[in-house]
Amino acid sequence: MSETIRNADVLIIGGGLSGTMLAVQLLRLPGQRQILVIEPRRELGRGEAYSAVELGHTLNGNAARMSVDPDNADDLTQWLTDYIGAGGWPESDQQHVPISELFPPRGIFGLYAQQRLAEAKAFSASTVEHIRAEVVDLQVEDEGVLLTLDNGQQLRGAQAVLATGMFPAARTPQTESSGLNAAAVDPWDVQAMTQIGPQAPVLIIGSGLTMVDAVVSLEQAGHRGPIEVFSRHGLLPHVRRQPPSWEDFLGANHNLRSPRQLLREVRRQCRLALEQGIDWQAPLDTVRAHIGRLWSQASEGEKRQFVRHVRPWWESHHHRSPPLSAQLVARLHEEGRLRIQAASYKGLEPSGSGVTIRLRRRGEPAVTLVSGAALINSSGIEYDWRRVARPLPQQLLKRGLVQPGPLALGIAADASGAVLDAQGQVSARLFAMGPPLRGMWWESTAVTDVALQAKALASTLTEI
């Protein structure tokens, strides 16, 4: 253990998009602070979502929806205009749309976030330093928060922020492992997929946006064989379109509170749109701004009702696929190469070659076996920290410094992001933002959500 403890004003645990956006907002505020961002990856601003290197792995929102600046919705559009004008991303002309409607590759979006951080550093009296390590333990003391890193170094800050981002199920060790990840190919590893026979059958568990990415990866790896997709409800993400504006019907009527009332009114508004020849996505998109309010005011029973009965349709209708990726999935489906079936994954079966899984198809009592040459886990994000077998989440739970959030989605916090411990006490030193607050706000992963949280939390931290 290192005898020297390094001190700072703010410790940001995680240097993906959440941590980087918080650092930018802190840099923009008056005053002089020392900020340390602890992130094991070589670069800040990328995290799990924006470390992708393939051009085919794009954002699922167009540029006009993905600004990291909560005060300028056109920030990404403006940056992309300059970037493309300077010769970057020449493939952008294949989308045949204005720059505001482009769906940039996630790797390029990561570059955009990095540039905004560099600009903020250049004009600030505060400093940001990247500590390339993983936080394995955290203790809250009278004088601050003490972090222990995997290299033995210790850091102390007046405040610390859990900006740990998302834990993709495909890449996250589980406390109760089914062996799925050990047998599966990474959905984003195109190189690994080149080792699969071009005509060999591939099995995919999960049918959301990670599955869409996996299909893109397979296509880029030269795979041309059958793809069998299995998910509990058998729903595919809808394609994201650019609908016209629609009246903010939830803003005009705060009496709509329960999931049942909300669902009924959203359906009515979508029918009204279709009757007028307007895309049903127009009224649905107005709901986005009210999700935090609706979720936070719902009862525990209503939240459970939503997760159990509405969530699959919310995910497929709201978390939509970028057009080029959706076109690929649709083409493979039409050709008969890609099939999607409603079935629950029940485990692995010993297999001499390839992989065999156990499934229970919807409506069938018996478990059946399905075999393929390779398996991909596309079951999305693991939000339950009790199941994440990483040192820091486990230590925080063990020490009682955090408690599971509503419905075990992330961790509990107050409206400012201050973390609640196992006894329900609000911390004055430990905060969280982004995906760890999924249970607090339901939607806490989109760029616009995180941008707003980063600005508000930066203000809170500097006022303490």
5-167+383-463 belongs to which homologous superfamily?
Answer: FAD/NAD(P)-binding domain (3.50.50.60)
pLDDT one-digit tens code per residue, 267-302? 999 999 999 999 999 999 999 889 988 898 888 998
* Structure confidence at residue 1 (pLDDT): 45
Model-level pTM? 0.94
Q: Which CATH architecture has domain 180-238+320-377?
A: 3-Layer(bba) Sandwich (3.50)
Helix (H) or strand (E) segment spanning residue 204: strand 202-205
Do 5-167+383-463 and 180-238+320-377 come out as alike in CATH topology? yes
Nearest to 56 by CA among 18, 85, 89: 89
pLDDT one-digit tens code per residue, 302-327? 899 888 888 999 999 999 999 999 99
Nearest to 174 by CA among 347, 375, 358, 382: 382
Task: Give the pair of three-digit tokens for residue 38.
Answer: 């602890």
Q: Which residue positions in the chain have pLDDT lower than 70?
A: 1-3
Q: Residue for token digits 């069998």?
A: 228
Q: What share of the chain is helix, strand, coil (3-state, %, to 5)?
A: 40, 20, 40
Q: What is the DSSP letter of 322?
A: P
Q: What is the DSSP string of 142-168?
A: TTEEEEEETTS-EEEEEEEEE-----B
Domain ranges in the chain are: 5-167+383-463, 180-238+320-377, 249-318
* Structure confidence at residue 34 (pLDDT): 98
**Mean pLDDT, the chain, as a whole number?**
93
* Structure confidence at residue 3 (pLDDT): 65
Q: Residue for token digits 């591939």?
A: 202
